[in-house]
């Protein structure tokens, strides 16, 4: 028979593992999400592995460096939408342009929702 402490530990570990799984998938999947902080608001954008490799890396630093060098980037904006079974998912909503002079910071972004890759 399992003690209460062992059971509580098992539940806590299962909860942590299930919460971390979507974030890990977002980091290693086909699309990585980033939060672009501007003076007005925050924007969640997604880049595919191929797009990240074309920028010269696969982290927020590479995206920030490419934005600073090029002056602007075209990316997909992501928002939470309902999927076919009414489950929330992070999905592309619009292709937008980012300008280097309005972007203050770029951070990696993790989400508990499934990420729908863009085209």
How many angstroms separate the CA atoms of 106 and 113, rounded? 20
Query: Which is nearest to 118 in space by CA: 47, 33, 19?
Result: 47
Number of domains in the chain: 1
pLDDT confidence bin for 96, thresholds 50/70/90: very high
What confidence tier does 24 reach under pLDDT thresholds 50, 70, 90?
A: very low
pLDDT at 95 over 90: yes
Nearest to residue 93, comparing CAs of 109, 79, 82, 83? 79
Tell me how far apart the alpha carbons of residues 63 and 55 are, in angstroms, rounded to a whole number: 7
Domain span at residue 96 reads 4-115
**pLDDT tens string 27-44:** 445 899 999 999 999 999
Mean pLDDT of 66-76: 95
Question: What pLDDT does 21 receive?
Answer: 41
């Amino acid at each position: 028979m399992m003690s209460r402490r062992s059971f509580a530990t098992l539940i806590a570990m299962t909860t942590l593992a299930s919460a971390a799984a979507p974030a890990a998938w977002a980091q290693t999947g086909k699309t990585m999400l980033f939060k672009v902080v501007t003076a007005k608001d925050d924007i969640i954008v997604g880049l595919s592995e191929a797009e990240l490799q074309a920028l010269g890396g696969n982290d927020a630093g590479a995206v920030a460096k490419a934005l600073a060098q090029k002056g602007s980037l075209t990316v997909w904006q992501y928002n939470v939408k309902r999927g076919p079974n009414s489950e929330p998912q992070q999905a592309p909503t619009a292709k937008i342009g980012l300008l280097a002079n309005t972007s203050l910071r770029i951070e990696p972004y993790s989400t508990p929702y499934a990420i729908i890759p863009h085209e």
